[in-house]
Amino acid sequence: MPGAVSRSTALGGRLTGRQSALLGALIFALLLFPLIDRNASHVSAVADAGYFVLLVFGLNIVVGFAGLLDLGYAAFFAIGAYTYAMVASAQFNLHFNFWPMLVVSACVAALFGVILGAPTLRLRGDYLAIVTLGFGEIVPQIFLNLDKYSGGPNGISAVDQPVLFGHAFGFDPIPYYYVYVVAVGLCVILLNNLRHSRIGRAWMAIREDELAAQHMGINATTTKLLAFAMGASFAGLAGVIYAAKLTLISPDEFNFSVSVTVLAAIVLGGMGSLLGALLGGVLLSLLNFLVLPQATNWVHSLGFALHANFLLGLDFTNYRFMIYGLILVLVMLFRPEGLIPSAARRAELHAAEIAGPAAAQAAQTEYGESGSP
Amino acid sequence: MALLSLQGISKSFGGLRAVQELSIEVERGAIVSLIGPNGAGKSTVFNLITGIYRPTSGEILFGGRRLNGLKPNAVAGTGIMRTFQNIRLFAFMTVLENVMVGRHVRMHAKLWDGGLHTPFGKREEAATAETARELLKYVGLDAYESEWARNLPYGMQRKLEIARALAAEPALLLLDEPAAGANPTEKHRLMELVRAIRDRGVTVFLIEHDMKLVMGISDYVHVLDYGEKIAEGTPESVRRNPRVIEAYLGKGA
């Protein structure tokens, strides 16, 4: 029994044959999707899931790996988006190229991750959550009030759209879709590598027991800041593509509800798990961008057909947060570890059932009844 | 010169004087024990060495280097590793990962080495896993490497903590009551392990509450009571010391 299953792998290390086949099929489907579904609004909705998944991945480093509850994560998304919009629009008459700005914005966001993370290093749990919540509110307020630089409440419009090999992306969602697919794919590989590395283990050690981690020679200060920076850089990256695709950004797109929704996706998918983050992000954003608007359209058509006026007044997108809340309550009731939990989360919540027969047996044979901790 | 030298260290918590004017020398290659009744301040001494507390006065020297004021991670970097009286493993990490975390100070992989799987990062990661597996075999836990640390029975968790500490190849190992809560056979086996660790070339500084236990393996014993050293010497001489007997059994015993 021991060693038969490697429980540490949520996604890989080494994949089994079935897993790699599944992964191959998924990648294939993702690449073909815009060619099969020619409806631009569908492709656009799935593309928008891309920025959301990037946000979920980034926050998953901070919350899931390092165990630091950050409620102001949207701030870094805003910083990434504004960084690009300011230097690639008529705002300052600068028109920097989109591609290098992906890296630059990620670095700027990472820098702010360190700046905003530094004051919170001594805080834990609830206190950390409240301070990060504050930062999450402050950053959009700054963009709202710095009219001169950020366009104030109107934000920045006519943000430059990317050009690749002479092909302008324009308002066609398909090229953005592929940019997101590549970005998400690279981030999955990066995160999976990090999970099984010196730094990844240091993050988890801090999550598990900060004092013991320090005694292993882990510098808690730099390791936590690295988690904040790394998490923020994902949001910075997402912000650039988001701003370029929408061509218009304003401060109210980065409010608290974004941070909460991203966190909800992590909880839904399974804290600390890569596949869970992916699934949670995709589900919530598809619900938001595709299912709710579509459902509203159907109900409106039905209302026309039946001449039922009350149906025409319905707009499901207004019930978004109620539906999120409902989903979260149901998940907490029936699957508290999330849809695809990291093995650690599952073990934590089902400790008794999962405690391996090996351990139980060993406890019996070697230590007798007194062996349990 | 002694590997570790505590020179008249004191530590007060408000009005409580937890450790007073304590001087201890730990020679290289020895097993030195610190014993004393419950609440004598033994763990405080370890916490002073590893940087959880700062001594109110006195000097802590390790290999000639002053440790006063260093943070725990910096102390670990100098080659001192420890275990904890109340086991502090990384509960929801695997047994193997726990030991690999212990090797943190011996690794050099940066963020990009891990994230991008650079050749250096891959090589170091493989070598670390290899070393960790050897250590697990050494303490007899190699069959459980994929198990959660928290799923191990108590005695195995103690051994895992020792393996985790050894992973850094420390010059000095601080063991805080490694045999606490174990049954007599298990205690005996743990003490064998401590001896084997010393024979690997690791100096051992051991806290133990059970006096009989340390007598067999210690080269030198210090006895602490109410934060003060009341005796020191070879196990034989300490055992016969009337002040030690009094501290353990009370007056008139």
Q: How far is CA A106 from the centre of its chain?
A: 14
SS3 label, residue B5: strand
Mark yes or no for CB contact B146/A351 under 8 Å. Answer: no
Between CA A20 and CA A317 the distance in angstroms is 37
CA distance B187 to chain A (A): 12
B165 in a structural domain: no
| pLDDT at B137 exceeding the cut of 80 | yes
Share of chain B above pLDDT 90, in %: 74
Q: Least CB-CB distance to A212: which of B84, B107, B151? A: B84
Consecutive H or E run containing B205: strand B203-208
Q: Which residue of B has its CA nearest to A229?
A: B111
Q: Which two tokens stand for residue B97?
A: 């990962």
Instruction: Please tell me whether residues B51 and B176 are part of one structural domain.
Output: yes
| Residue A307: per-residue pLDDT | 83
Domain endpoint, select from B138, B160, B182 = B160
| pLDDT at B18 exceeding the cut of 90 | yes
How many domains are contained in chain B?
Answer: 2
Average predicted confidence (pLDDT) for chain B: 92
B87 in a structural domain: no
Instruction: Please tell me whether residues B58 and B176 are part of one structural domain.
Output: yes
B155 in a structural domain: yes
Instruction: Please tell me whether residues B150 and B206 are part of one structural domain.
Output: no
| Residue B144: per-residue pLDDT | 94
Instruction: Please tell me whether residues B121 and B222 are part of one structural domain.
Output: no
Between CA A227 and CA A120 the distance in angstroms is 13
| Residue A111: per-residue pLDDT | 97
| Residue B249: per-residue pLDDT | 74
| Residue A72: per-residue pLDDT | 92
A371: contact with B, CB 8 A cutoff: yes
B88 in a structural domain: no
Domain endpoint, select from B113, B138, B160 = B160
| Residue A12: per-residue pLDDT | 41
ipTM: 0.93
B183 in a structural domain: yes
CA distance A154 to chain B (A): 39
Instruction: Please tell me whether residues B242 and B177 are part of one structural domain.
Output: yes
| Residue A335: per-residue pLDDT | 86
Domain endpoint, select from B160, B184, B200 = B160
- Residue by residue, pLDDT tens for chain A (373 residues) are 333 333 344 444 456 677 778 878 888 888 888 888 888 888 888 899 999 999 999 999 999 999 999 999 999 999 999 999 999 988 888 889 999 999 999 999 999 999 999 999 888 888 999 999 999 999 999 999 998 888 889 999 889 888 899 888 888 899 999 999 999 999 999 999 998 999 999 999 999 999 999 999 999 999 999 999 999 999 999 999 999 999 999 999 998 989 999 999 998 988 878 888 888 999 999 898 888 888 888 888 888 888 877 888 888 888 888 888 898 899 889 888 888 877 666 666 665 444 444 444 444 444 333 333 3
Domain that holds residue B100: 93-160
| Residue B59: per-residue pLDDT | 95
Instruction: Please tell me whether residues B61 and B99 are part of one structural domain.
Output: no
Instruction: Please tell me whether residues B174 and B156 are part of one structural domain.
Output: no
Q: Which two tokens stand for residue A183?
A: 């970005």
Query: What is the number of residues in chain B?
Result: 253
**Domain map of chain A by residue range?**
32-272
Instruction: Please tell me whether residues B141 and B207 are part of one structural domain.
Output: no
- B-chain CB neighbours of A190 within 8 Å are 115-116
Reported pTM: 0.87
Q: What is the mean pLDDT of residues B137-157?
A: 92
Instruction: Please tell me whether residues B117 and B137 are part of one structural domain.
Output: yes
| Residue A343: per-residue pLDDT | 67
Nearby residues of B14 by Cβ (< 8 Å), 6 or more positions away: none
CB A77 within 8 A of CB A112: no
A370: contact with B, CB 8 A cutoff: yes
- Enumerate the β-bridge partners of residue B13: B16
Nearest to B89 by CA among B97, B80, B98, B100: B98
Between CA A274 and CA A60 the distance in angstroms is 8
- Enumerate the β-bridge partners of residue A156: A249
Between CA B132 and CA B164 the distance in angstroms is 8
Instruction: Please tell me whether residues B71 and B51 are part of one structural domain.
Output: yes
pLDDT tens for residues B37-50? Answer: 888 899 999 999 99
Q: Is A74 exposed, middle or buried (0-12, 13-18, 19+ CB in 10 A)?
A: buried
Between CA A6 and CA A4 the distance in angstroms is 7
| Residue A351: per-residue pLDDT | 55
- For the residues of B70-90, what is the DSSP string, one character each? --HHHHHHTTEEE--SS----
| Residue A32: per-residue pLDDT | 84
Instruction: Please tell me whether residues B179 and B65 are part of one structural domain.
Output: yes
Q: 3-state SS string over chain A?
A: CCCCCCCCCCCCCCCCHHHHHHHHHHHHHHHHHHHHCCCHHHHHHHHHHHHHHHHHHHHHHHHHHCCCCCCCCHHHHHHHHHHHHHHEECCCCEECCHHHHHHHHHHHHHHHHHHHHHHHCCCCHHHHHHHHHHHHHHHHHHHHHCHHHHCHHHCEECCCCCEECCEECCCCHHHHHHHHHHHHHHHHHHHHHHHCCHHHHHHHHHHHCHHHHHHCCCCHHHHHHHHHHHHHHHHHHHHHHHHHHHCEECHHHHCHHHHHHHHHHHHHHCCCCHHHHHHHHHHHHHHHHHHHHHHHHHHHHHHHHHCCHHHHCCCHHHHHHHHHHHHHHHHHHHCCCCCCCCHHHHHHHCHHHHCCHHHHHHHHHHHHHHHCC
Between CA A368 and CA B207 the distance in angstroms is 26
Q: Write the CATH number for B229.
A: 3.40.50.300
Instruction: Please tell me whether residues B188 and B228 are part of one structural domain.
Output: yes
| Residue B201: per-residue pLDDT | 93
The interface residues of chain A toward chain B in range 211-240, judged by CB-CB distance below 8 A, are: 211-220, 226, 230
Cα dihedral across residues A294, A295, A296, A302: positive or negative: positive
Mutation target to probe the A interface, by most A beta carbons within 10 A, among B48, B146, B156, B172 is: B146
